[in-house]
Chain A
């Protein structure tokens, strides 16, 4: 029994490996791009739209509503990053139901890559919102003594983000694999369905947490700009580590 899809190597040449993580990451991306291409190829206006287009519009509108609720801001700025993260993780765990498919997010490499993406995107949005100097100055708030803790928090929440997703996805498949040896009929299927639910919740949580981090990176600046810090701080997103 292998712990992560990294261990499943299909093809190897020297140190260049083609493992299950890579294959199914690309498969997930292919599914996402292929479905979007198929649906948007026959896109049309008006009321009489095809079911695929209606589904995509519904999904997009839901994601935009969630972003608008969480940030109290225009969603279009955050939609590409957050929507892609959510769709990728959700599609990956959805494909995991197919027998023989290894979920790419059950590998620490994939989740670390996703978390690193968030790690880079958060300062990018912060700098875009207020400029380089003011963003760096936000690390010394409320006092200069908080600087090391803010930096540690930045790193530790990235690690937490990756390990959380990895642990959830990996444990779901491990439980199914263990149960297959004990109760082969019906029960693993139920747990697989439960794993699907967990996968979607984790996709949602990952996206929302990335959004909360981005919002906290940009919101500090908005508090500086406005004069009433008490009101702004009340509504602030939960600071997570």
Chain B
């Protein structure tokens, strides 16, 4: 296999693996956070404003790890630096 094919294959497989594995953790984390927030809202409806705000901020932070994975996999597919380098080197 030529090196350009190899890079393409590995990039696509790794991009899929990145988003697949990388979204497991944030999904579990967000689920736990939401479940706890729901319990807290049910117990203290008065504090729901504060809870919702904190939940949103926390969710956004948990989610950002998944977003990093997405960005990495998109870079691998659409803007792969090794691929571009090889294309330029090969003409």
Contacts and interface: CB of A to CB of B under 8 A. Distances in A.
A212 B57 contact: yes
Interface stretch (B1-9, B27-35, B48-56): B48-56
B67 A163 contact: yes
Nearest to A208: B57
B82 interface: no
B4 to A, nearest CB: 21
Interface stretch (B10-18, B36-44, B58-66, B83-91): B58-66
B68 A163 contact: yes
A69 B50 contact: yes
Contact of A166 (B54, B58, B71): B71
Contacts of A240: 61
A238 B58 contact: yes
A167 to B, nearest CB: 3
A167 B71 contact: yes
Given A167-B67, A167-B68, A238 B79 contact: no
A150 interface: no
Interface of B: 49-50, 53-54, 56-58, 60-61, 63-64, 67-68, 70-71, 74, 78-79
9 contacts: A3-B78, A69-B53, A164-B64, A167-B67, A171-B67, A202-B60, A205-B57, A238-B57, A238-B58
